[in-house]
Structure 1
Amino acid sequence: MAFLLNHIVSEVQRKEKAISLSAPNVIDEAYQMTIYLQEYLFSIREDIIKQGFKNHWEEINFFRNIKPYILSKLIFHNKIFRIHTACPVDRGKMYTNYFSEHLRELKQEYREHIYNSDFYRYYRSGRTDRDETYFRLGNINFHEGLNSFVFEIDLLFSTYYDNKVARIIANELFYNYILQKINDDEVTGSLSSRDLSVNDVIWTDTKNALIELIYALYTNGSLSYGKIGIRKVSLVLEKLFQITLGDLHNSFHRMKYRSGSRTAFLDQLKSSLEEYMDKDL
C-alpha cells in the first residue's frame, strides 16, 4: 500500500476549500472538517490493519509524515470548533481577550510539555537516526516514563510518537490562527463598532490594481497622517473588500519593472474621474 503525502495534502486541501465555500459560518466549517477527517483517518486505519505496509520504510514514512498531517488537521479543526462555540462575542475587547487567553495557554503548554523534550529537538532538527524506534509499531518503551496518554492509544494504528508530531503541527496551526483572529479584530474593530455593513462591498478589479492603490495611499500618507504601516493598510482593505492579496512586496516589485505605465490603475482612475467631471460641464 503506497501512501503519497502530496496526494493526501491535495485531497485534504480540496475538501477544506469546498467546505469553506459552502459552510454558513466558521463553526459549521470546523464541524464538517472534523467529521470528514475523522472518517478519512478511520478508513485509512481499516486499510492498514487489513493490508499492512510493503516494508518498514513505508511504515516509518506513514507514521512520521502521513498520519500526523491528517491527525494534526483533525485536532486543529476540532479546536476551532470548540473555541468558537464557547466564544462570548463576535468582536470587541472581550473577543480579543478571549483569544489572547487561548494564546497564553498555548504558549504555556509549549513551554511545559514540548520545546524542552528530547523528541521535540529530534523532530525539529530533521534527524532520522531514531525513526526506527519512534515511528514503527510495537516499539513503545514503557520504561521511559511516557505520558499516561500512551495507555489510551490504538496500538494497531499508532506508535505514540506520531501523535506527538501531530500535536506539534496542530499547535503551530492553532497558534497562527489565534494570532490572525487577534490581529483581524484589532484592524477591523473600528469598522465593527460603527455597525458598518460591508458584506456586499467587494473588489471587482484586479488584485494588482488594489495593490497599486494601497501603495499610493501609503506613500502619500493619506491614512492616519502616514503613521500606519503598509501591512495594516493592506489588512484593512483586504477585510473591507473581502479579498486576499498574497505577497504585496513581490507584486509591487513586479509593478516597478512592468512595461508601459507603472501606475496603470491610477492613470485609469484619473482618466475616469476627469471624464465624469466633463459630463457636468
Structure 2
Amino acid sequence: MDMKEFAEELYVTMQEKFAEVELSAKDSIVKESNYIEIVKSHTYGLKNYLYQYEFSSPQEEIYFFKNIKPKFVSLLLFHNELFEIEVSKPLEKDSIIKHYLEALQKGQAFINTHMEFYKYLHLGSTYLDSKYFLPDKNHETGNDVIYDSRFCTPFDHKFCLLQSYELMKEHLTKAIEKLTMPVDEYSPLQWTGPKISLIELMYALQVSGVFNKSVTDVKMIATYFEKIFHVDLGNYYRTFRDIQTRKKAKTVFLDELKFKLAERLDEPMLVE
C-alpha cells in the first residue's frame, strides 16, 4: 500500500473516532483531551508506517511532508492549543470573549511573522519545495511524535503551525459569534448525530438545488443548520474533502437514510 492510500484510510478512521467522542462527551475539556489522544495515536501510526516505507521519488516525499503529514499534525497542534484555551477559560461571557480574542491575536501574530511562507503555501507555489519539504538527513533522531527528525523537514512544522492557527481562527470566530448571538428560543431540535453526517446531508441538499430556487451556497445552509440544530459544524469544507476520499461508499449517511426509510415504508400501516 502506498503512503497516500495508507494515510487516507488512517485519516478516515481518525474522523470516525472523532464522531464517537462527539456523541459521548459533553464537557469541552474532556472532548479536547480525547481528541488529543486520538490524533496523537493516529499520528504515531503515520510515523511508524513512514519508518518502514521507501518513497518512490523525491516528489512523493515532498507530497508527504507538504500535504499528508500536516493533516494530522496541524490537528494535534490545534487541539493541544484549544485544550489550554478551554482549561484557562474564565466564567463570565465578556471575559470569555476577551480570552478568545487574545488567542486569535496570538495566532495572527504568528501568521504575520511568517507571511512570506504563508503566501507561498496559499498561492500553491512549488519552486522551493525541495528546500522546505525534504528532510535534513544530518539531524539527530528524537522520539517525540512531532519533532522526531525522521518525521520532520526544515520547514514542514511551520506549515503545520500555520494550518493549526487557521483552524483556531475558524473555531474561535464561530465561538465568539455564538456568544454574541441572541439565543434562539424557538428551535427545540438539537443535532445529536455525527457532524460529518449533517455535512453530507447539507451538501446533498445544496447540490440538489432545493433551497431558494438553486441559488443558495453551502455557507448559507451551514450557518442556518448550525443555528437551528445547535451544532458547530467546524471546517465543513475540509470535512467534505474527507468525504470525497472515502474508499468505499462515499454517501454513508444518505445510504443509511434511504435504508431506514425503506424499512419504515415496508412496515404495516396503522389502522385508525
Query: TM-score of the superposition, structure 2-length normalised?
Result: 0.63
Contact kept in structure 2, 1:135 and 1:162, CA below 8 Å:
yes
Give the alignment partner of residue 13 of structure 2, picking from 8, 11, 14.
11
The verdict on how the C-alpha distance between 1:182 and 1:45 changes in structure 2, with shifts beyond 3 A counting, is: same
Task: Report the alpha carbon displacement of residue 56 of structure 1 after superposing the two structures with TM.
Answer: 2.3
Residue 168 of structure 1 corresponds to which residue in structure 2?
Answer: 162
Paired with 1:114 and 1:140, the residues of 2 have a C-alpha distance of: 25
Task: Report the alpha carbon displacement of residue 243 of structure 1 after superposing the two structures with TM.
Answer: 5.4
Give the alignment partner of residue 177 of structure 2, picking from 179, 183, 193.
183
Paired with 2:52 and 2:190, the residues of 1 have a C-alpha distance of: 52
Residue 125 of structure 1 corresponds to which residue in structure 2?
Answer: 123
Task: Give the alignment's Cα RMSD to 1 decimal.
Answer: 3.5
2:94 paired with 1:93: yes
Contact kept in structure 2, 1:153 and 1:160, CA below 8 Å:
no
Matching residue's letter, 1:26: S
Paired with 1:173 and 1:72, the residues of 2 have a C-alpha distance of: 8
Paired with 2:228 and 2:125, the residues of 1 have a C-alpha distance of: 45
Paired with 2:102 and 2:120, the residues of 1 have a C-alpha distance of: 30
Residue aligned with 2:56, SS: coil
Contact kept in structure 2, 1:140 and 1:160, CA below 8 Å:
no
Paired with 2:105 and 2:157, the residues of 1 have a C-alpha distance of: 23
The verdict on how the C-alpha distance between 1:244 and 1:40 changes in structure 2, with shifts beyond 3 A counting, is: closer
Contact kept in structure 1, 2:135 and 2:153, CA below 8 Å:
yes
Task: Report the alpha carbon displacement of residue 176 of structure 1 after superposing the two structures with TM.
Answer: 0.7
Paired with 1:136 and 1:241, the residues of 2 have a C-alpha distance of: 45
Contact kept in structure 1, 2:18 and 2:38, CA below 8 Å:
no
Deviations 1:137-187 (A, max 9, x none): 22789xxxxxxxxxx942211113221111111110000111011100001
Give the alignment partner of residue 150 of structure 2, picking from 156, 159, 162.
156
Paired with 2:226 and 2:45, the residues of 1 have a C-alpha distance of: 39
Matching residue's letter, 1:174: M
The verdict on how the C-alpha distance between 1:243 and 1:175 changes in structure 2, with shifts beyond 3 A counting, is: closer
Task: Report the alpha carbon displacement of residue 55 of structure 1 after superposing the two structures with TM.
Answer: 2.9
Paired with 2:61 and 2:176, the residues of 1 have a C-alpha distance of: 40
2:244 paired with 1:242: no
Paired with 2:118 and 2:228, the residues of 1 have a C-alpha distance of: 40
Paired with 1:241 and 1:135, the residues of 2 have a C-alpha distance of: 42
Contact kept in structure 2, 1:139 and 1:159, CA below 8 Å:
no
Paired with 2:119 and 2:226, the residues of 1 have a C-alpha distance of: 38
Task: Report the alpha carbon displacement of residue 20 of structure 1 after superposing the two structures with TM.
Answer: 1.1
2:107 paired with 1:106: yes
* Residue-pair matches, total: 202
Residue aligned with 2:2, SS: coil
Task: Report the alpha carbon displacement of residue 108 of structure 1 after superposing the two structures with TM.
Answer: 2.3
Gaps of 5+ in 1: 142-151, 209-214, 216-230, 247-281
Paired with 2:158 and 2:19, the residues of 1 have a C-alpha distance of: 27
Paired with 2:111 and 2:148, the residues of 1 have a C-alpha distance of: 25
Contact kept in structure 2, 1:60 and 1:136, CA below 8 Å:
yes
Residue 137 of structure 1 corresponds to which residue in structure 2?
Answer: 135
